Structure 1
Amino acid sequence: MQPNSIPWLRALMRACAACLFAALAACGGGGGGTSAETVTPVATPAAPAASAAQPPTSAASAATASLKVDWPPIPYDVTAGWPFDIGLYVVGGDGKETWTVKCSAHITCAITGGSRLVVTSLAEDQPVETTIALSATNSQGHKGSLTVPMIAWPKSLKLTSLLGARDSPGIHLLILNDGFLPADMGLYRDAATGVLNELFSRPEIAAHRDAWNVHVAELVVLDDATGQAKASPLGARLGCSGVARAICFEDGLVKRAALAHLPHYSSIVLILNSTAFGGSGGSGVAAVTRQPKSAEVAVHELGHAFAGLADEYTQAPDTTPFRQFNSPNLTLKTDRNEIPWRHWIAADTPLPSPVNALTMQPDVVGLFEGGGYVSNGIYRPTFDSFMRSDTKLLGPVNAEAWALSVYAKGGAWRRIAPAVGATLTRNAQPAEGWLFEAQPLLGRSIAETRWYVDGVERTDQRGAGQLQVSTPGALQVRVDLVDLTGRVRLDQGVVNSLTWTVP
């Protein structure tokens, strides 16, 4: 659903903008900036949207225009097969404006109903960065204009699967590039292959390798005016917020590029064409450079973006945390019964845990002070891990969080029937009884089913992908998926559950 197609949302956005302008006027000043939109991937997305907020009008046009053409703060892209339409407005208008629009050869534009703009992409092989020129004239002859940048996306884009296939079930990791011109694609492919190899060189991650699909998208955005490739279409850059190693990017553009290539993606690795050391991770995106150690950095950043893990290192001495971290690997709690990873801690392990030759071992789980950039009052599960230093060790707690994310983000089931939530009534029961199906994605050495009817396990059906139930009347059927790798102890290894009810 397009944000601009929701009247109440459009009205709210305009009202909020009006309040902001009024507040700035009252304070005797103003300011500007851009806003980022978080996009959640879905199997059938609405039209992807564009990269930047409203651009400033030129001084010349500001001097001559009496009207201000309004464009919503949510940016827009246009995708072939997913046209969008948007209501057009002017600030200070009289409601009797006449609109005209001019578009490039890569998009079609039309004004319908007097004040609605309909845009469709005509891009064929590569996305094209283009513009729409809008102008409005009211009944007094006052005019206003605005040029809106956007990207026109083609119906299909080049995508290579390094592992699995784009139509296979499971996790779909999409690798995107920024700053790579066509002549640089060899460097990009090498960096992407390095990420794949590094990812599954970790035993804790490789245990669930068969749940993964990894794809490389060779993104080249052309400039509409010159026909040349844009050097950095996704806005990735080093040095964000004054931190030399921090990579930032246009979050909305990155996720819209991902949707255009692979609508059902699970997580993204963004590779910046730089040999400097750097990275960032979160909100589903792990950003790295092509520096030689970038593959290791990518796994750390996926710890944030894919598994929801927090950094375990410290930056400032003698500091205390300012908040409780909502992550599986940091806590403020010191009571054994309240520690999130208590199921991994041996009964004789002291808490908090002193640092000595025994506790420094990678498989010893305890309560070690320091993490989340501060040194005091916050605790991590192991002395060291890939979320703290350059070590390749995940550690038991972080490995469990990673495994749980695999199952939660698509790695649990290959086939389910009937659909969970489907209405099942007694009088519709087949003569041979109900047939419930839950086929795990991973093999029986990795994950096993446990079937329950009215709370009682059918132990003879352990590992089965189907269960036939001929019992008449009301019943409840549940199937638990249990991880057998030893990587998951939480909830006795149950990583997913499905329930059907016949009332």
Structure 2
Amino acid sequence: MRPEARALVLSGSVLLLVFALLARGPVRAEAAGSGSMVVDNGDPAKRITLVLLGDGYTAADLPRYRAQAAAVWQALTVVEPFRSYQHFFDVRRVDVVSPQSGLRRGSPLGMHFGCDGIARLLCADDGAVAARAGAPAGPQYVLALADSDRYGGEGGGPTTTLAAGSPEASRIIQHEMGHTVGGLGDEYDAAPADSSYPNLSPRDAAVMRADRVKWWRWLGAADPSGGTVGAYRSGNGLYRPTRDSVMRTLGGVYNLPSREAIIESIYRQVSPIDHAEPAPGVVDGRPKLQVFPIPLAGGRRLQVTWQLDGHPAPTAAVSGDTLDPGQLGLLPGATGVVTATVRDTTPWLRDEAFRANRMTGTVSWKVRG
């Protein structure tokens, strides 16, 4: 949660048992920038990497830390939109060995409670964390887990923190990653009155609609949190999109404007196309052309359409993500430009300009008849 306002909760005990197998293996400290890939969904230059590090774990404690790290990722993948977009992320765990169990003065990542005078605010030494995480190969977020069962954490800054032993840990991380990935603000009544976040507004629904600002496109939509998207006033005087959400009550769901903000953040960092075969450009012979979108979880797929010289490709040549140049009907010696367009058609986004600019990708080949 942000330094100004932190409402935290997380439950990890059951998940620790579920992921106990991931804790097996040799106990050793990782060198800075190295680590173990817990989830490998593809080239880290084409994914967002979540780097998990621990503070306050001795060598003997590392199996517990590894289980807690696995539980953090599991907690994210059960809530939308992280569930559907989980293949856009890699997860790397770095094992940091502390000289003593628990958070003590001089611990490797400098984690401690009480930052900004708030007892539950958990901070880390961002420089120490960054040095241990290493230089990124692509976009990444860094999560520091503390060996503590206290209630605490923080999101939205260079380092997202979590008291990984807290009984409420799994719910806290869902809230905090809303800050970190989506740039979301707290929606509860006691949060500071800062309307700069995409899910907070000083204007009511009528003004938002008239001025076309904030979540105006979503007004009146049925929301997964229950009820409809509108402008609900909090005790701090700002409006929020729905009566409740994970940014207001831990354990809830992200409302539609917040889902859209998280998805937009993901696509600002990752292209919908993983790769294509053969490599785009001039193609000799007639190899089949294939585009590989980043897969979505839950059955939905990114849309793939094919064109030949700016017109829809013949149906006979197309089979999903693959095109057979031999079925294009090109005359011997003739050439044509084949283009594959990959587009995310999710209904969780209503900003069509953003969809066209960031959630759509193309690759092209020049083929001969």
Q: Deviations over 1:151-188 (max 9, x none)?
A: xx56x74x333333675753322211112222222332
Q: Which residue of 2 aligns with 1:439?
A: 292
Report the secondary structure of 2:78's partner residue: coil
Identity of aligned residues (%): 24
Counterpart check, 1:412 vs 2:267: no
Q: Is the 8 A contact 1:451 1:458 kept in 2?
A: yes
Q: Is the 8 A contact 1:164 1:213 kept in 2?
A: yes
Task: Classify 1:473/1:263 alpha carbon distance in 2 versus 1 (closer, same or farther; 3 Å).
Answer: closer
State the TM-score, normalizing by the size of structure 1.
0.53
Counterpart check, 1:288 vs 2:159: no
Q: Distance in 2 between matches of 1:383 and 1:457?
A: 45
Counterpart check, 1:212 vs 2:73: no
**5 Å matches for 1:50-89?**
none
Task: Classify 1:483/1:440 alpha carbon distance in 2 versus 1 (closer, same or farther; 3 Å).
Answer: same
Q: Is the 8 A contact 2:71 2:170 kept in 1?
A: yes
Cα drift, residue 297 of structure 1: 0.7
Task: Classify 1:189/1:475 alpha carbon distance in 2 versus 1 (closer, same or farther; 3 Å).
Answer: closer
Q: Is the 8 A contact 1:171 1:213 kept in 2?
A: yes
Of the three residues 200, 217, 223, the one matched with 1:330 is: 200
Q: Which residue of 1 aligns with 2:182?
A: 307
**Structure 2 residue identity aligned to 1:368:** Y
Q: Which residue of 1 aligns with 2:260?
A: 400
Counterpart check, 1:342 vs 2:202: no
Q: Distance in 1 between matches of 2:62 and 2:130?
A: 21
Cα drift, residue 434 of structure 1: 12
Of the three residues 291, 310, 321, the one matched with 1:464 is: 321
Task: Give the root-mean-square deviation of aligned CA atoms.
Answer: 4.1
Counterpart check, 1:247 vs 2:247: no
Unmatched 5+ residue regions in structure 2? 1-27
Q: Which residue of 2 aligns with 1:11?
A: none
Cα drift, residue 399 of structure 1: 2.0
Q: Deviations over 1:178-223 (max 9, x none)?
A: 1222222233223223212221222542223333332322112679
Cα drift, residue 362 of structure 1: 2.5
Of the three residues 233, 244, 254, the one matched with 1:384 is: 244
**5 Å matches for 1:103-502?**
126=29, 157=34, 159-164=35-40, 170-220=47-97, 232-259=107-134, 263-264=137-138, 266-290=140-164, 291-315=166-190, 321=194, 324-325=195-196, 327-333=197-203, 334-337=207-210, 338-346=212-220, 362=226, 364-370=228-234, 375-376=236-237, 378-410=238-270, 412-416=272-276, 438-442=291-295, 445-451=300-306, 460=315, 463-464=320-321, 479-484=341-346, 486-491=347-352, 496-498=359-361
Q: Which residue of 2 aligns with 1:131?
A: none
Greater strand content: 1
**Structure 2 residue identity aligned to 1:193:** A
**Structure 1 residue identity aligned to 2:302:** A
Q: Distance in 2 between matches of 1:463 and 1:345?
A: 35
**Structure 2 residue identity aligned to 1:365:** V
**Structure 2 residue identity aligned to 1:288:** L
**Structure 2 residue identity aligned to 1:271:** L
Q: Distance in 2 between matches of 1:126 and 1:359?
A: 45
Q: Which residue of 2 aligns with 1:130?
A: none
Q: Is the 8 A contact 1:174 1:265 kept in 2?
A: no
Q: Is the 8 A contact 1:451 1:480 kept in 2?
A: no
Q: Distance in 2 between matches of 1:498 and 1:269?
A: 30
Q: Distance in 2 between matches of 1:342 and 1:478?
A: 33
> Which structure exhibits the higher relative contact order, with contacts defined as CA atoms closer than 8 Å and separated by 6 or more residues?
2
**Structure 2 residue identity aligned to 1:285:** T
Larger deviation, residues 278-287 vs 456-465 = 456-465
Task: Classify 1:363/1:466 alpha carbon distance in 2 versus 1 (closer, same or farther; 3 Å).
Answer: farther
Cα drift, residue 482 of structure 1: 1.9
Q: Distance in 1 between matches of 2:349 and 2:147?
A: 37
Report the secondary structure of 1:175's partner residue: strand
**Structure 1 residue identity aligned to 2:144:** L
State the TM-score, normalizing by the size of structure 2.
0.69
**Structure 2 residue identity aligned to 1:464:** D
Q: Deviations over 1:386-427 (max 9, x none)?
A: 11122321122222222333344336222047989xxx7xxx
Larger deviation, residues 475-484 vs 280-289 = 475-484
Task: Classify 1:413/1:238 alpha carbon distance in 2 versus 1 (closer, same or farther; 3 Å).
Answer: same
Unmatched 5+ residue regions in structure 1? 1-124, 128-152, 224-228, 350-357
Task: Classify 1:193/1:332 alpha carbon distance in 2 versus 1 (closer, same or farther; 3 Å).
Answer: same
Cα drift, residue 303 of structure 1: 0.9
Task: Classify 1:345/1:432 alpha carbon distance in 2 versus 1 (closer, same or farther; 3 Å).
Answer: farther
Q: Distance in 2 between matches of 1:194 and 1:182?
A: 19
Q: Is the 8 A contact 1:235 1:249 kept in 2?
A: yes
Q: Deviations over 1:269-289 (max 9, x none)?
A: 211122211111124532110
Cα drift, residue 293 of structure 1: 0.6
Q: Distance in 2 between matches of 1:212 and 1:269?
A: 14
Q: Distance in 2 between matches of 1:489 and 1:459?
A: 31
Report the secondary structure of 1:206's partner residue: coil
Q: Deviations over 1:415-474 (max 9, x none)?
A: 047989xxx7xxxx5677999864201158321124567876659569535696989899
Q: Distance in 1 between matches of 2:289 and 2:42?
A: 27
Q: Is the 8 A contact 1:343 1:489 kept in 2?
A: yes
